[in-house]
């Protein structure tokens, strides 16, 4: 329930699209926790970014997971992929 309250608060700040799905929300939390050691969000938006499909994104997240020390299961990894896709990549 707490998460729902936070979501409503963020909706008021028009970050609603991020909070519609709990998965994306969870993915964001996981990514922020583990993935800022080597690069920030700018690698996801740089003009020459390398990832050009959802499959490639999934692979890259799996690849980066290890050095990040993130012990995510399949669902958690999928949440992070979903978050990165919704927020930055926007593959269909």
Residues that bind ligand HEC (CB under 6 A): 31, 34-35, 37-39, 43-44, 49-51, 57, 60-61, 64-65, 67-68, 70, 80, 84
15: DSSP letter: -
Q: Minimum Å distance from CB 67 to ligand HEC?
A: 3
Tell me whether residue 25 or residue 44 sits nearer to ligand HEC (CB atom).
44
Tokens of 2: 């707490």
Contacts (Cβ under 8 Å, ≥6 apart) of 53: 91
Q: Could you give the angle at the alpha carbon of 58 between the alpha carbons of 55 and 45, nearest 5°?
A: 95
Q: Could you give the angle at the alpha carbon of 90 between the alpha carbons of 18 and 50, nearest 5°?
A: 125
Tell me whether residue 31 or residue 82 sits nearer to ligand HEC (CB atom).
31
Q: Minimum Å distance from CB 23 to ligand HEC?
A: 15
Q: Minimum Å distance from CB 21 to ligand HEC?
A: 18
Tell me whether residue 24 or residue 61 sits nearer to ligand HEC (CB atom).
61
35: DSSP letter: S
């Amino acid at each position: 329930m707490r998460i729902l309250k936070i979501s409503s608060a963020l909706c008021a700040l028009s970050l609603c699209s991020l909070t519609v799905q709990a998965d994306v929300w969870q993915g964001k939390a996981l990514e922020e926790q583990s993935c800022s050691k080597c690069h920030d969000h700018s690698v996801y938006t740089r003009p020459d970014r390398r990832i050009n499909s959802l499959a490639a994104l999934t692979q890259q997240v799996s690849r980066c997971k290890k050095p990040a020390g993130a012990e995510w299961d399949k669902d958690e990894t999928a949440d992070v992929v979903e978050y990165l896709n919704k927020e930055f990549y926007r593959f269909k």
